[in-house]
Homo-oligomer: A and B are copies of this chain.
């Protein structure tokens, strides 16, 4: 095992990354990022419709060669490395990013006729053109199949598989009709590498199917025909092209074809794992296991946990998804998240530009915010500038800053925005625990967790938990590489189980952020006020008077200032 390697392929929104990893201990010996060639940084947009976001699948193909070749070249500098020691490949992608393909599994976008029609491209995760269709799916399921909604937190999203396909059917029937089936790119890319793109052969991953396409063994896989019929009869025909089984990342999509092996210069016949979403394999790359909450904190967050498959797990209201095997095979995969975190700080810096461009950088605002004690600003923010994913599952919520005076500074607002996202994070953690999924450790990954220690300290203080930081800065790619090591198996020099692989190949930094009890005490008081606002603005059930809110904030502020 000492000298074996795997490759993780990580398809992001703007680029693809290949990472070459030592199987023994997860050491990352080489990586290469290739930026997509189409559209604006890989995203094909429509100036007339800000909700539209597509990708050309040619970028996915070109990205395989470009990124892996680049990484292999860099890996050549590592003495123990040799391309023939690569034993497996794993793939993670954005999602739900469904792609219309023909009977051979070839994207319609590759046809001359469709080459300029974005509806024939991949519908990128952040495409929001299907808001009306998502609402229709939610309301139809609420009437006909409430159990579908119970697994996805109660609301079907415009970002997801069926909403996008139904929208295509409404706005571009020729594309819908020309497509034999639709496939998540998380499934299509491994199929390409293994020559299994024929729809009858192509394996579909339970991560995408379960979280985004309402696939569940409780009702025999994809949504039942009577439900799809109600949405549109054409979807019943489409359903016939979808398999009854979905696979976990413990399964191989197939083995690397000779053509790809020759082109890349690595062994043919090595297994390629079934694909999964970047966040989920990022959880794997961060060391997820029962009791560990992995928080991927970037422009938005993904807050993942797994629960043992033999646990009696109730439906958890407001959780985006509970899918057996979607993160680790054998465990329930649970996904929650915040619609915007870094995006809120970016909004403040880039749209408001407080204090001018120089004084208003993240660095400058962090310096000002660092000087403040908890509660000292008198401010309280609701972190809903992009709606609320968990636990309210409501896109039509908005952000708020309360407690403004004639002396409120940009640094104070910046800190309040950070604290608002921390309170939102605490709501998610508490929801997990309220339903029996105990959080013993919190491991953070993603850009913000590495770049901004102040934010991590605030999170530690607000959540009242130690914040650990994933050792890897490319956890999605590392998780994919781990998948490659597991599907390769012990005999090839990999691992028999994810338990072993994760234990050996992941880790956390020595730097940990420990809650300060005094700060936590203040934040507990602020969190009560946050919750009061959260429930009165975010739910229909809770009525209250709010006379206390501004007063309490001023009392807390005055006490903080006196210290």
- Which residue numbers of A lie inside 8 Å of B, CB to CB? 340, 343-344, 346-347, 351-357, 359-360, 378, 384-386, 396-410, 413, 536-547, 549-551, 553-554
In the complex, what's the smallest C-beta–C-beta distance from A110 to chain B, in angstroms? 34
12 further A-B contacts with Cβ under 8 Å, apart from A385-B405, A400-B401, A543-B544, are A347-B404, A347-B405, A347-B406, A351-B410, A356-B357, A398-B403, A398-B405, A398-B550, A399-B403, A400-B403, A536-B544, A537-B547
Q: CA of A413 to CA of B320 in the docked complex: distance in angstroms? A: 32
Determine the chain B residues whose CB is within 8 A of the CB of A549 once the complex forms: 537
Given A347-B407, A537-B547, A546-B537, A354 and B352 contact (CB-CB distance below 8 Å): yes
Q: Oligomeric state, in number of copies? A: 2
Q: B550 and A540: CB pair below 8 A?
A: no
The chain B residue sitting closest to A401, CB to CB, is B401
The chain B residue sitting closest to A353, CB to CB, is B355
Q: B344 and A406: CB pair below 8 A?
A: yes
Could you list some 27 contacts between A and B, CB below 8 A? A344-B406, A347-B405, A347-B407, A347-B408, A351-B406, A351-B407, A351-B408, A351-B409, A352-B352, A353-B356, A353-B410, A356-B356, A356-B357, A378-B398, A385-B405, A396-B550, A396-B554, A398-B404, A399-B403, A399-B405, A400-B401, A536-B545, A537-B550, A540-B545, A543-B543, A543-B545, A544-B544
Determine the chain B residues whose CB is within 8 A of the CB of A343 once the complex forms: 406
Determine the chain B residues whose CB is within 8 A of the CB of A406 once the complex forms: 340, 343-344, 346-347, 351, 385-386
Q: CA of A309 to CA of B110 in the docked complex: distance in angstroms? A: 86
Determine the chain B residues whose CB is within 8 A of the CB of A356 once the complex forms: 353, 355-357, 360
Q: B397 and A550: CB pair below 8 A?
A: yes
Summarize A's interface: helix, strand, loop or mixed.
mixed
Determine the chain B residues whose CB is within 8 A of the CB of A360 once the complex forms: 353, 356
Going nearest first, the 7 A-B pairs with the smallest beta carbon separation are A399-B404, A356-B356, A543-B545, A400-B402, A398-B403, A353-B355, A347-B406
Q: CA of A91 to CA of B551 in the docked complex: distance in angstroms? A: 39
Determine the chain B residues whose CB is within 8 A of the CB of A542 once the complex forms: 545
Given A353-B354, A356-B353, A356-B356, A400 and B396 contact (CB-CB distance below 8 Å): no
Q: A359 and B353: CB pair below 8 A?
A: yes
In the complex, what's the smallest C-beta–C-beta distance from A352 to chain B, in angstroms? 5
Q: CA of A343 to CA of B546 in the docked complex: distance in angstroms? A: 25
Determine the chain B residues whose CB is within 8 A of the CB of A550 once the complex forms: 384, 396-398, 537
The chain B residue sitting closest to A399, CB to CB, is B404
Q: A410 and B545: CB pair below 8 A?
A: no
Determine the chain B residues whose CB is within 8 A of the CB of A386 once the complex forms: 405-406
Determine the chain B residues whose CB is within 8 A of the CB of A399 once the complex forms: 402-405, 408
Determine the chain B residues whose CB is within 8 A of the CB of A384 once the complex forms: 550
Q: CA of A399 to CA of B404 in the docked complex: distance in angstroms? A: 4
Q: CA of A539 to CA of B546 in the docked complex: distance in angstroms? A: 8
Q: CA of A545 to CA of B540 in the docked complex: distance in angstroms? A: 7
The one of B397, B400, B538, B547 that contacts A538, using a Cβ cutoff of 8 Å: B547
Determine the chain B residues whose CB is within 8 A of the CB of A351 once the complex forms: 406-410
Determine the chain B residues whose CB is within 8 A of the CB of A410 once the complex forms: 351-353
Q: A539 and B547: CB pair below 8 A?
A: yes
In the complex, what's the smallest C-beta–C-beta distance from A350 to chain B, in angstroms? 10
Determine the chain B residues whose CB is within 8 A of the CB of A409 once the complex forms: 351-352
Q: CA of A360 to CA of B351 in the docked complex: distance in angstroms? A: 12
The one of B354, B385, B402, B539 that contacts A354, using a Cβ cutoff of 8 Å: B354
Determine the chain B residues whose CB is within 8 A of the CB of A540 once the complex forms: 545, 547
